[in-house]
């Protein structure tokens, strides 16, 4: 069976996916099966501002950050993720000769899971409040059979949040962890999480403090703050789900995919304690 890799390209500020998309076209031409997952957080922020609903974020007591997603925000989120970003990527890939198919996690019920019924959030004064109406959750199941149908037919799935909750409501999910669940469900050889930083940094302010090879999960868990926490969690989930290798690397430069595959970034491989 040909090699299968899952590549997630972040949607943070400053990420330009074109170089990675060109490389993905090359991989697909060479017979590698690729599933692409992408984010859209920066485009969502821009659109939210334009529509007069500036984004707000939730910080959990353990330091995880996520977008506050009420019903109106979810609609804006879909416009950015499933609209502008997903269709832009599909257009670029198709122009490069890739038979790309853009799908959100709600299409065909591709990504399903539980909505969070209560989220603890630390407010500006350090008080913890409980939010019960947030439309966010976590991918627990992936329809890998449907993805295999597409891949076996020579198509390249381009996947994006939202996912479908068990109650039948679209929900915001973290794209890194959704990519990890997808890689695990497909038994992918490799998962690349490409973002606006070179990998997990020992000091988030110092780009030269890259952790290259993960020998202790404690070290990366301690270093990862805010949104990096989800990437590290995703890497751990993918590895324990049977994915051969995970690299958290940069989406920038002329060849971000080849760079990450050759080990530039933070590499998680084998049994790590």
By three-state DSSP, how is residue 79 classified?
A: helix
Closest approach, Cβ 231 to ligand ADP, in A, equals 6
Residue 253 makes contact with ligand ADP by CB under 6 A: no
| Residues 89-148 within binding reach of ligand ADP (CB under 6 A) | none
When binding is defined by CB under 6 A, the residue of 223, 238, 260, 267 that contacts ligand ADP is 223
Closest approach, Cβ 174 to ligand ADP, in A, equals 8
CA 37 to chain centre: 6
Between CA 250 and CA 124 the distance in angstroms is 32
| Residues 161-200 within binding reach of ligand ADP (CB under 6 A) | 176, 195-197, 200
Omega before 162 within 30 of 0, i.e. cis? yes
Kindly tell me the number of DSSP H helices and DSSP E strands found in the chain.
Answer: 9, 16
Between CA 145 and CA 215 the distance in angstroms is 34
| CB neighbour list of residue 146: distance below 8 Å, 6 or more residues apart | 108, 110
Residue 39 makes contact with ligand ADP by CB under 6 A: yes
Residue 225 makes contact with ligand ADP by CB under 6 A: yes
When binding is defined by CB under 6 A, the residue of 185, 224, 235, 257 that contacts ligand ADP is 224
When binding is defined by CB under 6 A, the residue of 201, 214, 238, 243 that contacts ligand ADP is 201
Residue 12 makes contact with ligand ADP by CB under 6 A: yes
Binding map of ligand ADP across residues 226-245, x = CB under 6 A, - = no contact: xxx-----------------
β-bridge mates for residue 5, sequence order: 34, 190
CB contact at 8 A, 139 and 163: yes
Residue nearest to ligand ADP according to CB distances in the complex:
10
CA-based nearest residue to 62, from 120, 118, 114: 120
Binding region for ligand ADP (CB under 6 A)? 10-12, 15, 39, 41, 176, 195-197, 200-201, 204, 223-228
């Amino acid at each position: 069976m040909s090699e299968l890799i899952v590549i997630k390209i972040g949607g943070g500020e400053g990420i330009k996916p074109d170089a990675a998309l060109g490389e993905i076209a090359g991989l697909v031409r060479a017979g590698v099966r690729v599933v692409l997952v992408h984010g859209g957080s920066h485009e969502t922020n821009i659109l939210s501002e334009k529509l007069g609903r500036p984004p707000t974020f939730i910080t959990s007591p353990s330091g995880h950050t996520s977008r506050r997603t009420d019903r109106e925000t979810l609609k804006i989120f879909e416009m950015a993720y499933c609209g502008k970003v997903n269709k832009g990527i599909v257009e670029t890939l198709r122009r490069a000769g890739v038979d790309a198919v853009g799908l959100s996690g709600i299409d065909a019920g591709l990504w399903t899971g539980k909505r969070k019924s209560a989220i603890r959030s630390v407010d500006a004064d350090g008080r913890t409040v409980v939010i019960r109406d947030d439309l966010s959750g976590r991918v627990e199941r992936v329809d890998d059979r449907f993805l295999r149908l597409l891949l076996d037919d020579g198509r390249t799935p381009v996947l994006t949040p939202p996912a479908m909750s068990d109650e039948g409501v679209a929900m915001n999910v973290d794209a890194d962890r959704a990519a990890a669940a997808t890689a695990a469900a497909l038994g992918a050889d490799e998962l690349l999480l490409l973002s606006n930083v070179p990998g997990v940094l020992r000091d988030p302010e110092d780009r030269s403090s890259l952790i290259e090879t993960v020998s202790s999960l404690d070290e990366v868990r301690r270093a990862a703050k805010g949104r990096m926490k989800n990437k590290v969690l995703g890497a751990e989930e993918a590895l324990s789900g049977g994915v051969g290798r995970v690299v958290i690397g940069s989406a920038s430069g002329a060849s971000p995919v080849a760079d990450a595959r050759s080990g530039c970034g933070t590499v998680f491989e084998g049994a790590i304690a």
